[in-house]
């Protein structure tokens, strides 16, 4: 049966629509997540339809993380039709095609056969999957194309949007401490530079999702039929993923074909058709990718060694005490088994308190979101990070229950507090606390009391100012507001330190 | 009504409550369905005559009024129900029991006090032992009606025994499933509060609900626990009915251990604790959710409609906590090791890819990796 090939314009229209939808959803991933589009669709829709996300999260967690099960739809489509997702839906692929359109107009030669190391993506996929078998999501999941492009939007582009006065000399840059995620920026630049040398080089060589869909499309029923080929090599030259054999164009690789139908539209003799046919036995002209057994074995061994080592690797000394996760995050083991490093939560956070972790919390936590109270604080009445999370690593919760469970607990280091060291009336931490968790002793107060600006008023001789005494464990939720305010005043380490102590424990609120 | 589909509902009072039986089907079967419904009520009425402890001529009353050590042979229906009840007593480690005693002997006698003779007769070891099928009677009646309907070729029906024991099968209309809801408290105006659920599978399923917000008189507490309402889903209504009572009596932890001994069809269990915290097991989650996922994929609904439904499903069917309950605990997990199969399948696929190395090496041009 002849399928009848969609024109190039149809595919471009679909790609444009999908990319626009993705961009709109990413743009709307900000507090408050409240628009007609986000009422209909989840902001993390493209991550939720990613079957690799579903596999590693459900496999790693050993449970049905239901919001990821939409990946089954993409998986079903791939099983039937091949890598349609890559050619028609993937926003990263659309970006590559857009760049390719420019390069083609500039007459830059960037098409040709895949490099010999194009199987790398399969080994990366094997490593990611093996990690999930060991019960976790490795930072390698950060190489998933939807995750990368989302992370670029969240950690490279978004900070510029948050810093309104970036270019002003009068107003210092607010999020200077961890402005953009340079590792993501570097990775993105390398990928885009590579794309100018070879079309869709990421899809061909390193995309783990492409490898995943390549595996599942092995038995797809929509296949290319090049009967009548005159061997002009036009199709092979135009194939964006190098799926068509350059020596014999009748042979192509089903696992690499993204069903863009460019070969059909470019063929001068209409010899490239796509037909529905029986998937088995696989015809010689439909050879799937073959993997080197030794390389696969080496990948398995390396992962088997790395998985426990990464668990043992706990990062810098005392880093776990300062490792704060977003509110309602699963416990640390489950969090690392479900966080895919997409940084949607960071994109959604209105205060900029969420940042990506480097290696300071251990290699295993690389690219995962952490709460840095010196950069901001967890806003009262906001659950945007939870709504944005595509895997429930940050669990969904009703906003009125925000303070039911703790992020951590703040500790007072009185030897750094200016109300102790300099006997100044400050009390900024007491004013900032949304749950009145900081107990204080009443002493001297300037005119205006608590409304007075902090740190400007030393107490008269022989008197002590009103000052914090301790933090009530059952009331403190670990939002970091006290540390954020303290950090503005105290030179050096703030006196209020938010720790991960008590994470996940219920509060008395 | 939807197109050529009609629904008929006939309500009648039996067993101290209202049985609401509804059948859906094509208009051509209207007469047949109506007759079936009337017959079903008649069957329940006959059952009540056998099982009621308040009717002097009932089988249960005949057993209850007999003296110790005098053999008695019960009718087949009652005998069958008794054997089901005894199995349930074993499964629930006594949390559910069909036997009761008068208050004066409650501390003096053991719970069980009957012996089964080889000729099918039974004898009471003590006169003060009484049969009481309150916890499973309605469910048993619904099982019988369900069997009767299926035998008669009626596949689309919703049977309710007082609202706390329900059996649904097939669809309400051509395009919608039977609406289900679970309520465990009321608001200030007396309107029920709870959740709506979706069971999107056409196979018959029974829901048994017990709770202290209802009368709760059939619940024999072994010890206090914190469960306000329990819902059990199982193909067998009598079992669902009894297990919901047992979960209330024994508590979540004990009862989940007991239920693990049921090897044929595991029941789906969900509970609301006193502080309105919901808990449910993976079977319940599967029953209510997974069939929708699979069927939606298979029948090829348009992607847009699936996406919009899923986007709303987040805080809908599974996350009971966000549907109006007063308290909230996000740290409840139901793991199932079977999910490891997902990555395992992919690993197998990768290994399959290694099997063609030799063929490809022979065919392949070394300069061309494809």
A146 close to A90: Cβ distance less than 8 angstroms: yes
Query: What are the φ and ψ backbone dihedral angles of B263, each rounded to 5 degrees?
Result: -100, -25
Residue A467 pLDDT greater than 80, yes or no: yes
Residue A261 has which token pair? 């139908």
Q: Phi then psi for A486, rounded to 5 degrees?
A: -60, -40
Strand (E) or helix (H) holding A34: none
- pLDDT of A220 over the 70 cut: yes
The DSSP-derived string for B103-139 is GGGTTTS-S--EEE-TTS-EEESSTT-EE--TTTHHH
Give bridge partners of residue A405 from the DSSP assignment. A506
Distance CA A378, CA A352 (A): 9
pLDDT at B23 over 70: yes
Neighbours of B104 (CB within 10 A): 8
Checking if the pLDDT of B51 tops 60, the result is yes
Residue A496 forms beta bridges with which residues? A412
Q: Are strands A467-471 and B17-26 parallel, antiparallel or unpaired?
A: unpaired
Pairwise CA distance, residues B6 & B25, whole Å: 6
Please tell me which of the candidates B297, B306, B328 has its beta carbon nearest to residue A401: B328
Indicate the range of A12-21, A86-95, A378-387, B207-216 predicted with least confidence.
Answer: B207-216
Report, as an integer, the average pLDDT of B2-21. Answer: 81
Tokens of B245: 């009572």
- The phi and psi torsions of B181 (rounded to 5 degrees) equal -150, 155
* A33 CB within 8 Å of a chain B CB: no
Confidence of residue B325 (pLDDT cuts 50, 70, 90): very low
CA A21 to chain centre: 17
A458, pLDDT greater than 60: yes
Closest-CA distance of chain B to residue A337, Å = 13
- Contact in structure between A354 and A159 (CB atoms under 8 Å): no
pLDDT at B46 over 50: yes
Q: Is A449 left (phi over 0), alpha (psi -120 to 50) or beta?
A: left
3-state helix, strand, coil in chain B (%, to 5): 40, 20, 40
pLDDT tens, position by position, A236-267? 888 999 899 888 888 888 888 999 998 988 88
pLDDT band for position B368 (cuts 50, 70, 90): low
The model's pLDDT over A133-151, given as tens digits with 9 standing for 90+, comes to 887 788 889 999 999 999 9
Q: What is the pLDDT of residue A91?
A: 96
How far apart are the C-alpha atoms of B13 and B1, rounded to whole Å? 25
Could you tell me which chain A residue has the CA closest to the CA of B302?
A73
Strands B17-26 and B5-14: antiparallel
Domain limits of chain B?
338-370
Q: What is the ipTM of this complex?
A: 0.82
Identify the band that residue B323 occupies on the pLDDT scale cut at 50, 70 and 90: very low
Query: How far does chain A reach from its first CA to its final CA, in angstroms?
Result: 66
Whether the per-residue pLDDT at B301 is higher than 60: the answer is: no
Q: How far is residue A214's CA from residue A220's CA, in Å, rounded to a whole number?
A: 10
Q: The tokens of A111 are what? A: 């098409």
Q: For chain B, what percent of residues have pLDDT higher than 70?
A: 63
HSE, side-chain direction, 13 A CA sphere, residue A440 = 24
DSSP B202: -
Interchain contact, B347 vs A133, CB within 8 Å:
yes
Residue A175, pLDDT > 50, answer no
Backbone φ and ψ for B20, nearest 5 degrees, come out as -115, 110
What phi, psi does B336 have (nearest 5°)?
A: -145, 115
**Contact: B363, A284; criterion CB under 8 Å:** yes
Question: What mean pLDDT is predicted for residues A89-118?
Answer: 87
Q: Count the Cβ atoms, other than its own, within 10 Å of residue A186.
A: 11
| Under 8 Å between Cβ of A357 and A330 | no
Which chain A residues touch B335 with a CB distance below 8 Å? 61-63
Peptide bond into B223 cis (omega under 30): no
**Tokens encoding A210:** 């492409």
Query: DSSP labels for A28-41?
Result: T-SSS--SHHHHHS
Mean pLDDT of chain B: 71
Q: Which two tokens stand for residue A448?
A: 């205006």
Tell me which chain B residue has its CA closest to the CA of residue A128.
B343
Q: The tokens of A404 are what?
A: 């039911």
Q: Cβ–Cβ of A67/B337 closer than 8 Å?
A: no
Instruction: Show the tokens assigned to A502.
Output: 């008590």
Distance of CA A406 to the CA centre of its chain: 24
The more confidently predicted of residues B53 and A195 is A195
Look at residue A168 and tell me whether its pLDDT is greater than 60. no
Chain-chain contact of B356 with A288 (C-beta, under 8 angstroms): yes
> Among the listed ranges A104-108, A154-158, B105-109, which one has the minimum average pLDDT value?
B105-109
Q: Could you read off the pLDDT of B345-355 as tens digits, one per residue?
A: 888 888 877 65
Which residues have CB under 8 Å from B159's CB, separation 6+?
B19, B20, B21, B22, B142, B145, B146, B166, B167, B168
pLDDT at B14 over 60: yes
What is the rounded CA–CA span in Å between residue A359 and residue A75?
33
Give the span between the Cα atoms of B143 and B34, in whole angstroms: 19
Residues of chain B neighbouring A125 (CB-CB closer than 8 A):
346, 350
């Amino acid at each position: 049966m002849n399928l009848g090939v969609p024109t190039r314009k149809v595919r471009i229209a679909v790609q444009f629509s999908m990319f626009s939808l993705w961009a709109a959803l990413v743009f709307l991933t900000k507090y408050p997540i409240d628009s007609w589009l986000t009422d209909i669709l989840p902001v993390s829709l493209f991550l939720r339809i990613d079957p690799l996300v579903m596999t590693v999260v459900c496999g790693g967690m050993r449970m049905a993380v239901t919001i990821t099960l939409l990946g089954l739809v993409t998986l079903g489509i791939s099983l039937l039709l091949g890598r349609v997702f890559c050619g028609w839906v993937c926003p990263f692929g659309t970006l590559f095609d857009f760049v390719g359109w420019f390069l083609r107009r500039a007459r830059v030669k960037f098409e040709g056969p895949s490099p010999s190391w194009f199987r790398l993506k399969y080994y990366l996929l094997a490593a990611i999957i093996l990690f999930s078998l060991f019960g976790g999501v490795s930072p390698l999941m950060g190489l998933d194309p939807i995750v990368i492009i989302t992370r670029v939007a969240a950690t490279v582009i978004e900070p510029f949007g948050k810093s309104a006065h970036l270019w002003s000399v009068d107003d210092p840059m607010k999020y200077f401490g961890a402005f953009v995620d340079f590792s993501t920026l570097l990775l993105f630049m390398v990928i885009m530079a590579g794309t100018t040398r070879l079309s869709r080089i990421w899809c061909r060589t390193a995309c783990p999702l492409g490898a995943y869909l390549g595996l599942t499309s092995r038995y797809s029923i929509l296949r290319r039929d090049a009967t009548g080929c005159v061997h002009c090599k036009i199709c092979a030259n135009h194939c964006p993923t190098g799926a068509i054999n350059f020596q014999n164009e009748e042979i192509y690789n089903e696992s690499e074909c993204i069903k863009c139908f460019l070969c059909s539209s470019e063929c001068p003799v209409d010899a490239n058709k796509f037909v529905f046919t029986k998937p088995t036995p696989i015809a010689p002209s439909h050879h799937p990718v073959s993997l080197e057994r030794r390389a696969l074995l080496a990948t398995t061994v390396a992962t088997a060694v790395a998985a426990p080592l990464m668990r043992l690797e706990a990062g810098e000394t005392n880093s776990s005490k300062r490792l704060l996760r977003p509110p309602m995050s699963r416990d640390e083991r489950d969090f690392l088994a479900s966080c895919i490093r997409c940084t949607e939560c960071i994109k959604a956070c209105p205060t900029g308190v969420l940042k990506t972790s480097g290696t300071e919390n251990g290699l295993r936590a690389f690219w995962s979101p952490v709460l840095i109270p010196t950069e901001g604080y967890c806003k009262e009445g906001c659950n945007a990070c939870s709504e944005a999370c595509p895997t429930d690593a940050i669990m969904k919760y009703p906003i009125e229950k925000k303070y039911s469970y703790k992020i951590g607990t703040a500790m007072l280091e009185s030897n750094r507090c200016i109300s102790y060291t300099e006997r100044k009336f400050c009390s900024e931490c007491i004013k900032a606390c949304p749950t009145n968790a900081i107990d204080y002793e009443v002493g001297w107060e300037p005119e205006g009391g608590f409304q007075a600006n902090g740190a400007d008023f030393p107490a008269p001789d022989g008197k002590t100012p009103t000052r914090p005494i301790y933090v009530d464990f059952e009331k403190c939720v670990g939002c970091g507001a006290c540390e954020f305010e303290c950090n503005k005043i105290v030179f050096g380490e703030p006196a209020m330190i938010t720790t991960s102590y008590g994470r996940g424990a219920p509060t008395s609120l | 009504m939807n197109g050529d589909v009609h629904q008929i509902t006939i309500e009648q009072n039996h067993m101290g409550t209202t049985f609401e039986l509804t059948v859906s089907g094509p208009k051509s079967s209207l007469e047949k369905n109506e007759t079936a419904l009337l017959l079903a009520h008649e069957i329940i009425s006959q059952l009540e005559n056998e099982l009621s402890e308040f009717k002097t001529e009932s089988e249960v009353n005949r057993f209850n009024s007999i003296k110790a050590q005098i053999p008695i042979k019960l009718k087949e229906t009652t005998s069958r129900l008794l054997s089901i009840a005894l199995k349930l007593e074993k499964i629930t480690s006594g949390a559910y029991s069909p036997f009761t005693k008068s208050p004066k002997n409650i501390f003096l006698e053991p719970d069980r006090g009957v012996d089964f003779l080889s000729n099918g007769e039974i004898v009471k070891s003590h006169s003060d032992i009484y049969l009481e099928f309150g916890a499973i009677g309605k469910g048993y009646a619904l099982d019988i009606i369900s069997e009767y309907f299926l035998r008669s070729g009626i596949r689309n029906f919703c049977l309710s025994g007082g609202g706390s024991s329900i059996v649904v099968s097939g669809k309400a209309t051509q395009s919608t499933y039977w609406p289900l809801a679970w309520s465990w408290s009321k608001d200030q105006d007396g309107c029920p509060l709870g959740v709506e659920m979706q069971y999107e599978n056409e196979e018959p399923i029974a829901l048994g609900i017990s709770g202290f917000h209802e009368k709760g008189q059939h619940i024999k507490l072994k010890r206090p626990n914190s469960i306000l309402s329990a819902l059990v889903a199982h193909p067998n209504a009598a079992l669902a009915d009894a297990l919901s009572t047992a979960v209330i009596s024994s508590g979540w932890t004990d009862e989940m251990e007991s239920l693990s001994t049921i090897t044929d069809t595991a029941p789906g269990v969900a509970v609301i604790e006193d502080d309105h915290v919901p808990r449910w097991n993976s079977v319940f989650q599967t029953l209510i959710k997974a069939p929708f996922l699979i069927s939606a994929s298979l029948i090829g609904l348009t992607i847009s409609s699936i996406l919009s439904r899923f986007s709303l499903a987040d805080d809908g069917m599974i996350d009971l906590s966000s549907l109006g309950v007063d308290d909230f605990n996000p740290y409840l997990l139901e793991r199932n090791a079977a999910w490891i199969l997902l990555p395992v399948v992919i690993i197998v696929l990768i290994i399959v890819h290694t099997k063609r190395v030799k063929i490809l090496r022979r065919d392949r041009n070394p300069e061309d990796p494809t």
